[in-house]
Structure 1
Amino acid sequence: MDKDRKLEHIQLAFDSKTGISEQDPRFIYEPLLAAHPDGKTPDFPFLGKRMKAPVWVSSMTGGTGVAKTINRNIAGACREFGLGMGLGSCRKILFDKTHWEDFDVRDEIGPDAPLWANLGVAQVEQLLYEKKEQAIVDLVGELRADGLIVHVNPFQEYFQPEGDLISQPPLETIQELLAKINVPLIVKEVGQGMGRESLKQLLQLPLAAIEFGAYGGTNFSRLELMRDDPRNREIFEPFAFVGQTARQMVNDINSLLDETKPVCGQLIISGGLKTYLDGYYLVSLSRLPAVYGMASSVLKHATGDYETLKTYIENQLKAYRLAQTYLRLNPDYER
């Protein structure tokens, strides 16, 4: 058996060569300074709850036929591994409880993990205009959620064939909502991120956190254009390729901290993160307390049986802890 293993190593040695061009320059590998991680990691405070790993399952599903299975699987995994969860758009259940069970997952996620409801800024603007902001308070309360995510998506709404036009700057809607209801808020984009001035304004608001929804991952503006008339798609598609990446946004916020003291002090770094190393790099780079978001990759594993999702997340967290143990940020890497 040992002979077979050595022969296997000889063959694999030829197949496992790496080139200089494949090196990840963001990290310095320090192999001598720690034992293997034992899987025991201390929990930490985030959004008023305790988390065991800096992973947030970002909002995706919003009332599809399989949303109940997906949301329950994700909620169960968040409970088991100590992660945070943002529901998909809850617009469908604001005034109609037909699909309520698709979103009502507090029992599955448990009392200790963060669980946040979600509405678009266009819906929030309309509710405020109609003086129906109590519906938001009721939604969050009846879901037993910890607060509300407001997703800001002017491009998506504009390109969506059945989208709602936004009548005032989203910043004004968010400020008005903060003044009228006593519900913790997170503000996020939906795939194109936010520029420095928008981030500066949000940092000055009493938000629970900012979620990036940065450029480079699922792009809901492009998604809606793909559903639109081909003539409109040809005209507007260039807009789908503008935005800020998660790294650009971390850099912007880090530099803004030298100019002003933020009121909002927590981040969910999401959008365009391909692996746990991207998450580890950006969380380590951030000067504000941060977790990183996973959305489409989790969604892909959450549509079937729970064990499939459990195995995927378990392996992701093992890899993240290995990175924490042996990798340091490279100070010479061009950020």
Structure 2
Amino acid sequence: MKDTNLKDRKKDHIDLAFDSQIDHRRLDNRFFYEPLFSSHPSDRPAFEFTLAGKDLKSPFWVSSMTGGTEKAGMINRNLAKACAKYQMGMGLGSCRILLDTPESLPDFDLRPILGDKVPFFANIGIAQLEDALNKNHMDRWLELIHRLTADGLIVHINPLQEWMQPEGDRITAPPVETISRLLDEFPLPVIVKEVGQGMGKASLDALLRLPLEAIDFAANGGTNFTLVELLRSDAAKKDVFEGLTRIGHSAEEMVGLSNDLLKQNKDKYLTKNLIISGGVKGFLDGYYLHEKSLFPALIGQASALLKRALVSFEDLDEYLDNQHRGWALCQNYLALKNEVK
């Protein structure tokens, strides 16, 4: 077939050649690029994953974002449409509002959009979970989950956020004890998630010993909800406590810690899955961390999806389509330099 655009394309190559020089100091040295062994991939990556008994075809997970705002309904519906299209799992933003204002349920009632194939989780903060357990109110949360036709519950571990929040609740028991109490009586899958600073080795070790569906890192490097609350506080409080927001663990460090723990304690761990999130800027970061992990893992994103879901479904869909295409290219042409599997 005659290439009718050949002259224009070659002119573009000449015009853009000098603008396309790559500084060697900016090279991504995490991968070997191997262009000889694969044809072009399809638009979707070859990916299968089971979470809460449901099969996913996407490596990406919609990490829980803030809920209870006037825009929550539009944001959630756009995210749910994307999850249905790409067979991608989703964690809801804050569901606390639904207990006090049940009329907000339509903003969170996403199962009709999601369909039955993808996992869908409600969420609760650790302070609110402690309160519900102490007051024997977990039946209210079970009723809410059943109304949402959700598959389980995400518990947010956020002691620093609650401490800095002007309206924050106080945590009176170690979170690991509260989570253990929940697991003793709760009949549905549970995911535990941090809120922007990640977790250290001892915390990961303690959680991995529990029968959780997954641990969601929410590592340092993405949105930090301790800092969000300090920005909502007075300037004097921010000046005193801001240093705490710079303490935490990156997603790459947490993958390394999880790998080390698994090698040492493989037979002691009941949690089998990770959701790697926090500072994951796109498919390259996600693919690198996924391939580095010894645990089966999904890649969680929040702010990148929220930014586009606020605009339109079309904007979100275009972003996710390119993320999945990028992942497929990685599978065909990239190999980790420091292979761990």
Which of 152, 163, 172 is the matching residue for 2:168? Answer: 163
Deviation at 1:95, TM superposition (A): 4.1
Report the more deviating stretch, 126-135 or 151-160. Answer: 126-135
The amino acid of 2:275's aligned partner reads I
Query: Contact (CA 8 Å) 1:273, 1:279: kept in 2 or not?
Result: yes
Alignment of 1:248-263 (within 5 A): 248-260=253-265, 261=267, 262-263=269-270
* Distance of 1:126 and 1:44 partners within structure 2: 34
Establish whether residue 10 from structure 1 lines up as the match of residue 14 from structure 2.
yes
Query: Contact (CA 8 Å) 2:94, 2:123: kept in 1 or not?
Result: yes
Q: Once the two structures are superposed, what CA deviation does each residue of 1:102-127 show, in whole Å capped at 9, x if it has no partner?
A: 11101111100111001100000001
* Distance of 1:305 and 1:246 partners within structure 2: 29
* Distance of 1:121 and 1:246 partners within structure 2: 22
* Distance of 2:260 and 2:6 partners within structure 1: 55
TM-score (norm 1): 0.97
Moved over 6 A (4+): none
Establish whether residue 299 from structure 1 lines up as the match of residue 306 from structure 2.
yes
Instruction: Give the corresponding residue for 2:75.
Output: 70
Deviation at 1:181, TM superposition (A): 1.6
Query: Contact (CA 8 Å) 1:69, 1:304: kept in 2 or not?
Result: no
Establish whether residue 230 from structure 1 lines up as the match of residue 235 from structure 2.
yes
Gaps of 5+ in 2: none
Deviation at 1:332, TM superposition (A): 8.1
Instruction: Give the corresponding residue for 2:192.
Output: 187
* Distance of 1:42 and 1:331 partners within structure 2: 22
Deviation at 1:231, TM superposition (A): 0.7
* Distance of 2:279 and 2:48 partners within structure 1: 26
Which of 22, 25, 38 is the matching residue for 1:21? Answer: 25
Report the more deviating stretch, 301-310 or 235-244. Answer: 301-310
Instruction: Give the corresponding residue for 1:34.
Output: 38
The amino acid of 1:185's aligned partner reads V
Figure out how many residues of one structure are paired with residues of the other and give that number: 333
Instruction: Give the corresponding residue for 1:323.
Output: 330
Which of 84, 88, 99 is the matching residue for 1:83? Answer: 88
Which of 303, 316, 319 is the matching residue for 1:309? Answer: 316
Report the more deviating stretch, 14-23 or 192-201. Answer: 14-23
Matched residue of 2:103: which SS?
coil
The amino acid of 1:28's aligned partner reads F
Query: Contact (CA 8 Å) 2:51, 2:213: kept in 1 or not?
Result: no
Which of 274, 277, 280 is the matching residue for 1:270? Answer: 277
Deviation at 1:77, TM superposition (A): 0.4
The amino acid of 2:111's aligned partner reads R
Instruction: Give the corresponding residue for 2:156.
Output: 151
Instruction: Give the corresponding residue for 1:57.
Output: 62
* Distance of 2:11 and 2:197 partners within structure 1: 49
Q: Percent identity?
A: 49
Q: Once the two structures are superposed, what CA deviation does each residue of 1:183-222 show, in whole Å capped at 9, x if it has no partner?
A: 2100010000000000000000000000001000000000
* Distance of 2:24 and 2:217 partners within structure 1: 32
Establish whether residue 201 from structure 1 lines up as the match of residue 206 from structure 2.
yes
Alignment of 1:112-151 (within 5 A): 112-151=117-156
Matched residue of 1:5: which SS?
helix
Gaps of 5+ in 1: none
Deviation at 1:39, TM superposition (A): 2.7
Deviation at 1:98, TM superposition (A): 2.2
Deviation at 1:45, TM superposition (A): 2.1
* Distance of 1:33 and 1:256 partners within structure 2: 34
RMSD: 1.3
* Distance of 2:331 and 2:34 partners within structure 1: 11
Query: Contact (CA 8 Å) 2:52, 2:189: kept in 1 or not?
Result: no
Matched residue of 2:280: which SS?
coil
Q: Once the two structures are superposed, what CA deviation does each residue of 1:117-154 show, in whole Å capped at 9, x if it has no partner?
A: 01100000001111111112112111111100000000
Matched residue of 2:122: which SS?
strand
Report the more deviating stretch, 200-209 or 133-142. Answer: 133-142
* Distance of 2:182 and 2:100 partners within structure 1: 19
* Distance of 2:210 and 2:255 partners within structure 1: 18
Instruction: Give the corresponding residue for 2:112.
Output: 107
* Distance of 2:204 and 2:107 partners within structure 1: 32
